[in-house]
Structure 1
Amino acid sequence: MSKNFKALPIQLSDKLVAEIKEGNSLFQKPVKENGMPAFVKPVNPITGKGYSAMNALILGMQRHDDPRWMSADAARYAGNWVKKDEKGTMIEFPKTSDIQAIRTAEGKVIKDDAGVTQTKTVEFDKPQRGQAFLFNGSQLNDLQPLEEFLAKQNEGQTLSSIERAAKLIEDSKAVIIHGGQEAYYDKQRDAIFLPEVEQFENETKYYQAAIHQLAHWSGHEDRLNRPMEGKFASLDYAREELRAAIAGILIGGELNIGHNFGQQKAYMSNFAKILKDEPFEIAKASRDAQKIANLLLGVSQKREQKQGAEMPGFKKGDEIAYMDTTYKVLETYKTKSIKVEDGEGARKVLKPDYGLYKSLLEAKTNPREPEMVLEEEQGQAEEQGQQQKIGR
């Protein structure tokens, strides 16, 4: 690999900083000139799976209206071909194995009588960074018409985007107090404050604002327990806003309601500074945003498909890949609590109202491509004092 090659998070940060300065980032322009959402949730049309947060952000920033993404090889196997002169978009993923040529002790490749190189599958002790170039559906020939694909995707969906957003908020059980002119989350009271629906330009913008505040709400110590410190307009404050903004993009894409980071002007300079000075922060923020999306979507997503049906649960022996490890279910209890063991051998009992429990349930029932874990993990210093209003 070239010495000049930049790690993918650095490439993403560089592009985001440039877009922020130009005023056309996803945070600043949630709708394209054609009226379509700026971010369309990317999906692999063959597996039906979505992509992890950072990869979804990378793919979504290409601004395609078609949500379908796959590699050239996958497209070819499906009978499709990349159009001439089209360029792929690079993503990263944790690679747990590799197919390698079988060689002699002298290093020569072993071939069979037909001249075909013999191969073996090598399992890695630790996941390694894998990379792939993906192509959007608009870059491929002979693909199923987009309208037909979207119609099939929406089969069985009885709720509108607005209804799904309302249900997500209801299922969260968050305390929401209406009135006043500001939208924010109060940590001390563990409550969300929102203006009345009528004060928003339309109903969609109300739910977009509510989802953004729910993203902050998820960071409470009883849920995802995320650091939310720093005074308004500080860099620490902006870190939390970055996580909530990305989560709003992911959730808005999932619900087809779009996103709208209303107070973007107050944070853009700090976003740009953080991404320029600490480019790997985008990977950390994306992972936290994925946790937020998993938590908020995990409760309502399956209920809306089968009204009145019992939520899927866990069984002993389940192995669930989530974030940077795999959790194994050791025991299940009548209370629906579970005992799990992570990849490092740590064991804990999770109750149904725990954030990790809900995230694991979401990961089991709606698996996404796993997120690449970076070696560059710098600790964050804790500042004195707390800011109670978040997300103004």
Structure 2
Amino acid sequence: MSKNFKPLYVQVAEKLTAQFKEGTSPIQKPIKENGLPAFVAPVNPITGKGYSALNAINLALKGHDDPRWMSADTASFNNYQVKEGSKGTLINFPKKNEIQAVRRPDGSKIKDDDGNTVTRTVEFDKVQNGKAFLFNATQIKDIPPLAEWLKATQRPGDLSPVEKAEKLIRDSGAVIVHGGEEAFYDKIKDEIHLPEIEQFDNDTRYYQAAIHQLAHWTGHESRLNRQMDGNLGSVKYAPEELRASIAAMLIGAELKIGHSFGQHPAYTGTWSKMLKDEPFEMSRAAADAQKIANKLLGREEKREIIQEATLNTSLSKGEEIPYNGTSYKVLDKKGRNFEMEKADTGEKFKLKPTDKLFGNLIDARNNPASQEMELTAEQTHKIGR
């Protein structure tokens, strides 16, 4: 059991950084050695719901071929059992309330006539960072085989991956200009440029390229209005390229058409440095990628299991955040930067969203409980008993 558990965005940033250097990340290497997709959309097989981008990436980095994930409690409730010694994988979700035991003044729990603990639902003033540990189907006994589950979830008359991609492109309303040798998005003209479909190795490659450029297309000021500074291939453009690559991976998994990294391997070095210097950028990139995927897939941002609200990833004037034995007060916000004061020393300083302290304060504010633990299957089963 390890305490002081690293925040999820730090874990994902570190794993991806290591894989970027090795060239083995699911973004760079869409197909595994066994021929299966490197990234599949993780899903709870009981509810049929998926997981938001940061959680989905963390689950996928475990390398399982089976996309089914659930908590130990969910497994137990459905007469499955987590295999002994299995370790859970962390996910985060926004939490507005919590069920707590009703206690007496001395701290003991109040029981009802049947001996069950009396509970109450406590609403939080601010959305907090909920945590859960999930287990893959390969870690669970008695769960139906994947092939059997996939057959049961197939719907008659469902569109093929290519047909789904065609519909997504058509529904977007984007202007697509065919011709030339390169695939790119012209943010000035608000046009996507693609080579003719015959110039690609196959139809799938064409639609993968189109989806990637559609991800960039969503950044226009009339749509999601992202910062898209710099020219294609530049260091300034690298954050946008990371968002589009993650979004294309999410959408490709959803449509079952996969994704292609394209001709941008030079970005991985910049991404590695960016995530090493500022791990919280992983959280921002994943959140933006989720917005891109939601927009292009035509759905509201309600995909996350148990999700009721979006976590606040910025600071507000007047806010005080306890962190690392002291407290930090937000005195003012000027542009994208913040004027801060450290309570114990009265020191005033400026804080940028790219500073490491910014991410630490956001995490401390959203997740007041700083002591976390890694749960094994046995420990998870004990929760709630």
Q: TM-score range by the shorter chain?
A: 0.7 to 0.9
Per-residue CA distance 1:27-68 (angstroms, 9 max, x = gap) = 211000111110010111111111111111111222222111
Q: CA deviation at 1:9?
A: 0.5
Unaligned runs of 5+ in 1: 299-361, 383-392
Taking the aligned partners of 1:82 and 1:194, their CA distance within structure 2 comes to 48
Please tell me whether residue 177 in structure 1 is matched to residue 114 in structure 2. no
Taking the aligned partners of 2:72 and 2:121, their CA distance within structure 1 comes to 22
Q: CA deviation at 1:99?
A: 1.8
Q: 1:39 is matched with which residue?
A: 39
Per-residue CA distance 1:3-34 (angstroms, 9 max, x = gap) = 74321111110111011111101121100011
Per-residue CA distance 1:247-301 (angstroms, 9 max, x = gap) = 0011001000111111231200111111111101111111111111111111xxx
Report percent identity of matched pairs: 58
State how 1:21-36 maps to structure 2 within 5 Å.
21-36=21-36
Taking the aligned partners of 1:206 and 1:229, their CA distance within structure 2 comes to 26
* Structure 1 residue identity aligned to 2:311: V
Deviates more, 1:245-254 or 1:110-119: 110-119
Q: 2:311 is matched with which residue?
A: 373
State how 1:92-131 maps to structure 2 within 5 Å.
92-112=92-112, 115-131=115-131
Q: CA deviation at 1:188?
A: 0.9
Q: Is the contact between residue 92 and residue 372 of structure 1 (CA under 8 Å) also seen in structure 2?
A: no
Unaligned runs of 5+ in 2: 316-332, 338-351, 354-385
TM-score by length of 1: 0.76
SS in 1 for 2:231: coil
State how 1:271-350 maps to structure 2 within 5 Å.
271-298=271-298
CA separation of 1:62/1:296 partners in 2, compared to 1, >3 Å: closer, same or farther? same
CA separation of 1:155/1:29 partners in 2, compared to 1, >3 Å: closer, same or farther? same
* Structure 2 residue identity aligned to 1:18: A
CA separation of 1:157/1:128 partners in 2, compared to 1, >3 Å: closer, same or farther? farther
TM-score by length of 2: 0.78
Q: CA deviation at 1:375?
A: 4.6
SS in 1 for 2:266: helix
Q: CA deviation at 1:176?
A: 0.9
* Structure 2 residue identity aligned to 1:30: P
State how 1:351-370 maps to structure 2 within 5 Å.
362-363=299-300, 367-369=303-305, 370=307
Taking the aligned partners of 2:26 and 2:285, their CA distance within structure 1 comes to 15
Q: 1:153 is matched with which residue?
A: 153
Per-residue CA distance 1:133-192 (angstroms, 9 max, x = gap) = 101112111112211211232213431111111111111111111111111000111111
Q: Is the contact between residue 233 and residue 264 of structure 2 (CA under 8 Å) also seen in structure 1?
A: no
Q: CA deviation at 1:233?
A: 3.5
Taking the aligned partners of 1:374 and 1:283, their CA distance within structure 2 comes to 11
* Structure 2 residue identity aligned to 1:363: E
SS in 1 for 2:265: helix
* Structure 1 residue identity aligned to 2:96: T
Q: 2:349 is matched with which residue?
A: none
CA separation of 1:3/1:43 partners in 2, compared to 1, >3 Å: closer, same or farther? closer
The higher-RCO structure (CA 8 Å, 6+ apart) is 2
